[in-house]
Amino acid sequence: MPANLEEDQGKKQLKEKATRKLAASPAKSGDGSTRDSTKKTPHVSFMATIKNAFPIKFSKNEDMERKLKRESRLLNHMERKLATYQGNTKEDDQRHALAEHLRSIAPFNRRWQVTETINEGTYGVVFAVCDVETGVEGVIKVAKAVGNDAGNQTAEWEGFILEKIYKNNPNASIVRLLDKGMLADQNGEGMEFMVLEKAQFGIMEWLSKFNGLERKLAVTRAALQMLKGIHDMHREGLLHRDLKPDNMGILSMKQPIVVLFDLGMTRMYTDEDGECRVPRTTCPFRGTPEWASGWASKGREQNRFDDLIAWMYVACELYDPASSITQPLPWTYRQSNRIFNYLKTIYCPAHILLRRAPQQFYEINTYLMTANRNLTPQYKFLADKTMEAITELENLLKPKLLKNALTAKAHKEKTEDKNAKNIKTTKVK
C-alpha cells in the first residue's frame, strides 16, 4: 500500500473518532455553561422571539416622567375632593347666613313671624310662619334672585298661578296665596317671597292614623279630593306636571280636605283663546320619574291625561298599608330602562300595579291607558268609579262603624252622667 494512501486513511479515522467524542460529550454555550443536546428546547412564540430580538428598555428619564404623571393625577384628584368639600362648606355657610338674616328681619311685611325653619337653601329658604295679628299659620317661600333676573322666575310664576286660580275659583282644592312681596338679603339683593296656606298634615302622615279597610277607605276618599284639585287646575288651562305624595296635604283636623301645592312646574296647555296649544315636537322632561306617565318619561309633550295617570300612580302607592314602603310602585328601584318603560305601558298586566287598589281602578286604568289623548278626559267617569269604590268600602265597614258609633255614644252618656253627679255633689256641699 502506498505511503500517501495510508496517511490519508489515518487522518480520516482520527477525524471520525473526534466527531464521535464531541457528539457524546455535552455542548457548551457561549456563556460557558453546558447544554444537553439530547433535551428538547421549549417552544418559543413568535412575539417572544421578536421581544428577545428587539428588547424595549425605558430610559431613566422616561421612568421618572411616568412617575411624575402618576403623582400629578393623584394630586389633582385630591385637590378636586378638597375643593368639593370646601365648596360644600361654603354653601352651608351661605345657607345659614341667609336663614339667620331672614330671621333677624322678621316679621316679614310687619305681619309674618317665623315659627320654624322647614328648609334652607343657597337661593332660598322655607319657613313656617304665623300672622302676628290674626294667628293664621302659613308657609313662606323666600326665593333669591339668580343672575340678572329681577326675581326667581319659578316663584313669580307660582305666585301668578295661585292668584289666577283663586280669583276664578275660590273653592279650588289648591293652597291659597296669603301674601307676597320683596325682601332684601344680607348683601342687599332682592328676594321674592310669598306666603301660602299651611297644610297641617302631609298625606302620608294623615293616612298613618288608619289601618286595614279604614285606611283603604281614607285613601279612596283622598283620591277623590285629589281628582277635584286636578280638575280645578285643568279648568283654568293648567297642568300640574309634578303630582306626588309630597306635593299634597290635609288642611287640618277640622277640615280634612286634600289640597295640592308646589306648582312651580305648572304649564298652561291652552292659548289666549282657550284652545289647546299645539304640542311641541321636543321638550325637556318636567316632573318626578317615579310618578310620571310613560308618555312623559319619554320626553314627550304632556297633557291632561299625564296628570290623571300620575294621580292613579299616587293612589296606588297610598294603598300600600306598610309603615315603611320598600317597593311602593312596581318600577321603583328598577335599573333597566326597558323594564321601567314596559311597566308603564298598556301591555303590562294591570294586577302588578293595582294589586292593593279597589277593583274599580282596573276600569280607571284601562280608560286612562287607551283613551284618545287629544280629547277632553272624562272626569265624571273617573269620579263615579272612585265614588263607587268609596260606597263599596263603606258598606263593608258599616257593622264596624255602627259598633264604634254606639260605643262612642255610650261613653259620651256615661261621661255626662258622671259630670252631672259631680255637679250635684258640689251643690250639696
- Residue ranges of the chain assigned to CATH 1.10.510.10: 201-396
**Interatomic CA distance for residues 248 and 307, integer angstroms:** 14
Residues 312 and 291: their CA atoms lie apart, in Å, by 9
The confidence score (pLDDT) of residue 30 equals 47
pLDDT of the residue at 108: 87
Percent of the chain past pLDDT 70, that is, above it, reads: 75
Q: Which amino acid is at 120?
A: E
| 8 A C-beta contact, residue 152 and residue 124 | yes
Does residue 184 surpass a pLDDT of 90?
no
pLDDT computed for residue 344 by the predictor? 93
Mean pLDDT across the stretch 401-417? 73
CA 381 to CA 387: how far, in whole Å?
A: 10
CA angle 128, 201, 394 (to 5 degrees): 165
55: Cβ contacts below 8 Å, ≥ 6 apart: none
pLDDT digit string (tens) for 370-380?
999 999 999 99
What rounded mean pLDDT belongs to the chain?
81
In contact, 218 and 319? CB cutoff 8 Å: no
Listed in order, the ranges of the chain carrying CATH 3.30.200.20 are 104-197
Please tell me the chain's helix, strand, coil percentages from 3-state DSSP, rounded to the nearest 5: 50, 15, 35
Give the model's pLDDT for residue 104.
87
**Does residue 38 register a pLDDT over 50?**
no
pLDDT tens-place string over residues 136-163: 999 998 886 655 454 467 788 888 999 9
Q: Is CATH 1.10.3720.10 the right assignment for the domain spanning 104-197?
A: no
Confidence of residue 70 (pLDDT cuts 50, 70, 90): confident
- Say what the pLDDT of residue 257 is: 93
Determine the Cα–Cα distance for residues 158 and 139; give it in Å rounded to an integer: 14
Report pLDDT for 55. 53
> What is the reported pTM?
0.71
In the predicted model, is pLDDT for residue 1 greater than 60? Answer: no
Q: What is the pLDDT of residue 39?
A: 45
Chain-centre distance for alpha carbon 300: 19
Does residue 213 register a pLDDT over 70? yes
Mean pLDDT of 240-245: 94
The model's pLDDT over 342-358, given as tens digits with 9 standing for 90+, comes to 999 999 999 999 999 99
Q: How much is the pLDDT for 37? A: 45
For residue 84, pLDDT over 70 is answered with no
Of the pLDDT bands very low, low, confident and very high (cuts 50, 70, 90), residue 296 is very high
CATH number at 201-396: 1.10.510.10
- 190: confidence class by pLDDT, cuts 50, 70, 90: confident
